[in-house]
Amino acid sequence: MKRTVHRRRVGRWSVAVALLGLVLAACGSGSTAVPAQRSTSTDVAFNTCATLACTGTLGGAAYTIVMPTKWNGTLLLYSHGYREAAPAPPDFAPVDTKAEAAPGYGDGDDSVGKALLAQGYAIAGSAYKTNGWAVTDGVSADEDLYSFFVQHVGTPNRTIAWGDSLGGLITEVLAQKHPEWVDGAVPLCGVLAGPNLNLDLALDVAYAIKTLIYPPLKLTGYTSYADAVANWEGAAKAIVAAGKDTTNGVPSIIMVASLAGAPSKTATYDGSTLTSQVEAYAESALTALGYGTFGRYDIEQRFGGNPSGNVGVDYSTRVSASERALMDLVSPGSTDKMLAQLAGGQRVSSDPAARAKLAATGTPTGNIQMPTLTLHTEADPLVLVQNESVFASKVAASSTHTADLVQLYTLAPATYPPSPGAPYGAGHCNFTLQSRVGVIDLMDNWVRNGVYPGSAAIAAAMGGASGFDPVYQPGPWPAAS
C-alpha cells in the first residue's frame, strides 16, 4: 500500500543528517455521545462546479472544493500542516500558499483525495492568510470555507474536520469552537499538547545543543529571519561534526534526545543499530531546532516576544537508567559531565504576555463535545506521540464524554533501508493511504450511523499493511517531571 508522507512541510532536515555516515485511549469511563439523527442518504443534491467557483480566495486565503460524482452527504474539511513563513533550510524551497482539499491533493499526490471522492465524500480545504504558526488564521479559513460551502454548494448532512500536524491542532480548536456544525474531529499527528509545551521542548533542545555542541547558538531574540536561519545552519554543521566524535559528540546527541523524549527511529533511520539510532536522534534534534530557530522567530514576531523558558528546569530527571547506560557505554563518565554542564548553563526566561498570547491561540481544553479520533505514528520526531498522552489526560479531566476519544497508533517495521525509508509508523505524519482513508470511514460510520469504532472495525479499516498497533500507549510528556 502506498504511503503518504508530506516531507515538504513537516520535516525536511534528514538531508543534513544524512551527512552523518487501542486498542483505544477511550479511558473506559464517561458516556458515548450519540450523534444527532441526520439523513443517511448517499445521494445528496449539490451545485456543481460548473455553476459556482470551486476555487478562489476567501479572507485572503486560497481555497478549493472538489465534489464527487454522487455526494454521500459528508463534507470533509481539511486543515494542512505547518508551512514555513519564508524559505527554510536545508533546501530553501519556495513558500507554499496553495489550498489543499486533502493531504497532498493538487500538490503532487492526489491518492488520498481520489480515494475519498470515489467513496462519495466532498473534500474541501484552504490555505491560511499567513504561513508560520497560523492557528488563528487556519480556524478562520475553515470557518469561511464552511460558510461558503453551505451557501453555494449544498448543505452537508455531517461535517468532519480533519488535519495534519499544525492542521491537527487547528482541527481540534475548530471543533471546540463550533460543536454546532462540526460532527466529528480527526486530528492526525496533531500538536494536541498545545503550543507552549511543544515550544518549551524545542527550547530545551536548543539549550542542550548550545550547551553541549554549539555554544554560539542564539536561543531567542533573533534580529531577523536570516539571523535565525544562520543559527540553525551553524548548529546543523556542528551536529554533523558531533556525530563523528565518539568521546563528546555522540553522547551529546544522545543526551539531547533524552531531554526531548525523541524516538530512536525516524522515517529515514530505523534505529536497529547504535549508528542508526544516533542518526535518528540527530535528525530529531535538527527537526526540533528548526522550530527552535526560524520557527521561533516567526512566533516571537507574531506574539510580541519569546513565549518559552527553562528557568528552574532540572534536566537530570529526564535521563533514564538505560539512557545513562548508553551514554556511559559510548564514553564512560559522560552523563554526569553533561548534566553538570546543563545545570550550569545560562537559562532563558519567557515573556509572560507572549506566552499567554500563544496559549490563547490554540491550546486544546480537552472538553470534547463530539466523536474525536486521533492517529499518530509511534516514532514521530517532530510532534512527539506524547502529545496524545497530554490530550487524553485533559479529556479525562474536562469532558463528560471521555469515551468519545479514540486514539490510534502505527508502529514501524523493525528494520527498513534509509531509502525509501519507513513505509509507516516512523516519521511525522507517515501514514499509509489505507490508514488515512480508514480513519475517515470509521468516523463517518460513527457520526452517520452511530456505530462506535470497536477494535475489530478499527483493525479492518486500518489494514494489515498500515502498522496499526492495538496495544500501544504513549508515555508521559518528557518534561512532566
Residue 233's alpha-carbon distances to 84, 174, 240, 369, in angstroms, are: 16, 36, 11, 44
Q: Does 82 share its domain with 155?
A: yes
Domain presence at residue 469: no
Range of the domain at 41: 3-13+22-192+363-462
Tens-digit pLDDT profile for residues 326-383: 999 999 999 999 999 999 999 999 999 999 999 998 999 999 999 999 999 999 999 9
Which pLDDT score, from 0 to 100, does residue 194 have? 97
Say which residue the cell 491560511 belongs to. 128
Query: 55-58 and 61-66: which strand pairing?
Result: antiparallel
Cα-only R_g, the chain: 22
Which pLDDT score, from 0 to 100, does residue 468 have? 96
Which pLDDT score, from 0 to 100, does residue 51 have? 64
Cis geometry, peptide bond prior to residue 68 (ω within 30 degrees of 0): no
* Cβ pair 63, 125 in contact under 8 A: yes
Cis geometry, peptide bond prior to residue 423 (ω within 30 degrees of 0): no
Q: Does 119 share its domain with 206?
A: no
Residue 148 CA, chain-centre distance (Å), reads 27
Q: Does 147 share its domain with 38?
A: yes
Q: Does 181 share its domain with 42?
A: yes
Q: Does 138 share its domain with 231?
A: no
* Cβ pair 82, 133 in contact under 8 A: yes
Q: Does 219 share its domain with 260?
A: yes
* Cβ pair 469, 180 in contact under 8 A: no
As a whole number of angstroms, the distance between CA 175 and CA 370 comes to 8
Q: Does 71 share its domain with 171?
A: yes
As a whole number of angstroms, the distance between CA 299 and CA 293 comes to 10
**CATH classification of the domain holding 58:** 3.40.50.1820
Q: What is the pLDDT along the chain (481 residues), one digit of tens a residue?
A: 333 444 333 344 443 444 444 222 333 334 444 444 467 888 889 888 766 679 999 999 999 999 999 999 999 999 999 999 999 998 899 999 999 999 999 777 899 999 999 999 999 999 999 999 999 999 999 999 999 999 999 999 999 999 999 999 999 999 999 999 999 999 999 999 999 999 999 999 999 999 999 999 999 999 999 999 999 999 999 999 999 999 999 999 999 999 999 999 999 999 999 999 999 999 999 999 999 999 999 999 999 999 999 999 999 999 999 999 999 999 999 999 999 999 999 999 999 999 999 999 899 999 999 999 999 999 999 999 999 999 999 999 987 888 899 999 999 999 999 999 999 999 999 999 999 999 999 999 999 999 999 999 999 999 889 999 999 999 999 986 4
Domain presence at residue 477: no
As a whole number of angstroms, the distance between CA 256 and CA 273 comes to 18
Q: Would you state the cell numbers that stand for residue 441, as one nine-digit string?
A: 470511514
As a whole number of angstroms, the distance between CA 101 and CA 112 comes to 10
Instruction: From 311, 326, 357, give the residue that closes a domain.
Output: 357
Three-state helix/strand/coil letters over 64-130: EEECCCCECCEEEEEECCCCCCCCCCCCCCCCCCCCCCCCCCCCCCCHHHHHHHHCCCEEEEECCCC
Which pLDDT score, from 0 to 100, does residue 157 have? 96
Q: Does 176 share its domain with 224?
A: no
Domain presence at residue 471: no
Domain presence at residue 33: yes
Domain presence at residue 480: no
* Cβ pair 163, 190 in contact under 8 A: yes
Q: Does 31 share its domain with 176?
A: yes
Q: Does 312 share its domain with 377?
A: no
Which pLDDT score, from 0 to 100, does residue 1 have? 35
Domain presence at residue 413: yes
Q: Does 132 share its domain with 102?
A: yes
Q: Does 312 share its domain with 267?
A: yes
Total domains present in the chain: 2
Domain presence at residue 475: no
Instruction: From 357, 389, 414, give the residue that closes a domain.
Output: 357
